[in-house]
Chains A and B, each alone.
Chain A
Amino acid sequence: MIKVEGVTYQIVRQEILSDVSVNIPKGGVTALIGPNGAGKSTLLSLIARLMPLQTGTIHVDGQAIGQTPSDTLARSLAILPQASDIAPRLTVAQLVRFGRYPHSKGRPTPACLEKVEEAMMRFDLGALQDRMIDTLSGGQRQRALIAMSYAQDTDYLLLDEPLNNLDIAAARHLMKLLQTMARAEGKTILIVLHDINYAGAYADRIVAMRKGRIMAEGPPQSVISTQALAEIFDTDAHVVLQDGRPLVMV
């Protein structure tokens, strides 16, 4: 479980997060939604220790962020940062192999190589393994990065707007992969999403934020409603239910 308690974060006296407390239960896909500037990415970065905590505490499976050594955390928590600025002079296979670093410190054991192999298969990267990262399309690149996180073999995976710049096929494919990872292997996936319809369709739980506060949390059909969208996003989009899943008429 990810336990966030009383987290406040300021940048130049501007409050980005105001006393945020939220629990992300273990297992399943949890989507973080909210308007631009709601503090979603900041919250995710704080959980992933990409930025130092100012006030409040965050625990991942009882390990306190900021006190647990970074390489210990790397074995239970992986993050896929927004607009991944990864060094382009890597082949896909080399990139995925880096996912084993927290376990092998750069000296891959046979078990590690097996895991890498599995990740390549799983994310359908076999044909691309010798391609350089900067020659890939957005969707392929995102898949390679997630394969790296998969090879890292952590219980928790955080993703910051992974659907940016993906077409509908690549986006759906990615969300399905994440859903399978969560369901078949009991991974906990926390994902920042801009498109509420993707959150409604694929997430097991939704946490909605606005102006640095948590506005609502729960299963998609209880969080996403015409009224909630008006409160959270200041927009009068109509929400319909389709096969038990909320769908926003944009």
Chain B
Amino acid sequence: MSDRNLLLLLSGLACLAMFGFMTLGVRAPWGFVLPFRGEKLVALILVALAVSTSTVLFQTISFNRILTPAVMGFDALYLLLLTLAVYGLGGIGFTALSPVAVFAITSGVLVLAALALFGTLLGQARADLLRMILTGIIFGVLFRSITAFLQRMIDPNEFAVIQVNAFARFNTIETDILILAAPITLVALMLSWRMRRRLDVISLGPATATSLGERPKQGQMQALALTAVLVSVSTAFVGPVVFLGLLVVSLAHAIRPTPYHAVLLPVAGLISVITLVGGQAVLERVLGLNTPLSVVIDLIGGCVFLILVLKGTRT
């Protein structure tokens, strides 16, 4: 199958998933259902694209196919920042802030923190993947432990404010940040798309990329910043989803092995949309919310992660 046909097929499936999400099990009048579900649909699509794109970017600049931003603790860092904000401001002060402001500030800080923490690591990633994995896992545990510690320190009422954010949730999406998050995501996705040919070259390794006239360090930092922005979007919308990115990008590599990001980015994005929107439609409307989608995704994604680790860390 040619790249074009594959993309058409995946787009068709994605449209089918969206159609199902919008129309299955409608009981209320359409005038209410369409805008209500429409907002959620837009948020889900943004999350799907943000997760797949950030994973592709991160895997390219770290030269591996096992690590994802989520595994490296990016979203744990986001939750830590959020918890720090609640701890510092108090629950009331925090809830008094508009969600848009909270999102803007936490995203901004996350980008800076990610560049500082992971930026230095990337230079050595190629030489030492194991060290990178270990560092990521330790960071993840560290962020989660500090978060848990702070959550014990604060008032139970304030804890409730964080708890909403601390679990993956696809049913109750915070659509009130859509106004800010949607344009940011679109800009980040567009910039990632414009980097696609540079990413192809960067994935050849720093020396070869330099020989071909690319500046790998600079490209890595840009991709890392984009990753941080995209992670903060998805975490703000639905909380931490650990294995979604790994799952959809591994599927994309399996369906279409390609060195070109011009193909990889849309294939992974569409698979992500199909998984998230289709999965949510089936679980929410057909199976009646018996199982949260995040559990299913993390179960399957976790298995994929194990398989990849057991197969070896070769890129």
Identify the A interface with B (CB < 8 A).
48-50, 70-75, 77-81, 84-90, 94, 98-99, 101-102, 105-107, 149, 152
Residue of A nearest to B258 (CB): A89
Pick the 7 closest A-B CB pairs, nearest first.
A74-B213, A106-B197, A71-B213, A81-B207, A102-B213, A79-B211, A101-B212
Residue from A85, A102, A107 within 8 A of B212 (CB atoms)? A102
Q: What are 27 pairs between A and B in contact, CB < 8 Å?
A: A48-B210, A50-B206, A50-B210, A70-B215, A73-B213, A74-B213, A78-B211, A79-B210, A79-B211, A81-B205, A81-B211, A84-B207, A84-B208, A85-B205, A86-B204, A87-B63, A87-B204, A89-B259, A89-B315, A98-B200, A98-B212, A99-B212, A102-B212, A106-B197, A106-B200, A107-B197, A152-B211
Interface size of B as a range: 20 to 34
CB distance from B200 to the nearest CB of A (A): 7
* A107→B211 CA distance, assembly (Å): 18
Which single residue of chain B is at the shortest CB-CB distance from A48?
B211
Residues of A within 8 A of B196 (CB): 106
Contact with A along B160-204 (1 / 0, CB 8 A): 000000000000000000000000000000000000110011011
Report how far A86 CA is from B212 CA in the complex, Å.
13
Say what secondary structure dominates the interface of chain B: loop
Cα separation A81 to B196 with both chains bound (whole Å): 24
* CB-CB nearest in chain B for A103: B213
Report Cα–Cα, A94/B281, bound state, in Å. Answer: 40
Interface centre among B203, B204, B208 (most CB of A within 10 A): B208
Give chain A's interface secondary structure class: loop
Asked whether any CB of chain A lies closer than 8 Å to the CB of B88, the reply is no
Q: What mask results when residues 46 to 61 of chain B are scored 1 for a CB within 8 Å of chain A, else 0?
A: 0000000000000000
Q: Known contacts being A98-B201, A106-B197, is A86 close to B208, with CB within 8 Å?
A: yes
CB-CB contacts of B84-118 with A at 8 A, as 1s and 0s? 00000000000000000000000000000000000
**A76 to B200 Cα, complex, angstroms:** 21
B315: A residues at CB distance < 8 A: 87-89
* Complex Cα spacing A77 to B210, Å: 10
Say whether A70 contacts B200, CB under 8 Å.
Answer: no
The docked-state distance in angstroms from the alpha carbon of A107 to that of B260 is 12
Is A74 in contact with B211, judged by CB distance below 8 angstroms? yes
Q: Which residues of A contact B257 (CB under 8 A)?
A: 89
CA A134 – CA B257 in complex, angstroms?
Answer: 14
Assess whether B214 is interfacial by the CB under 8 Å rule: yes
Structural contact, B205 and A87, CB atoms closer than 8 A = yes
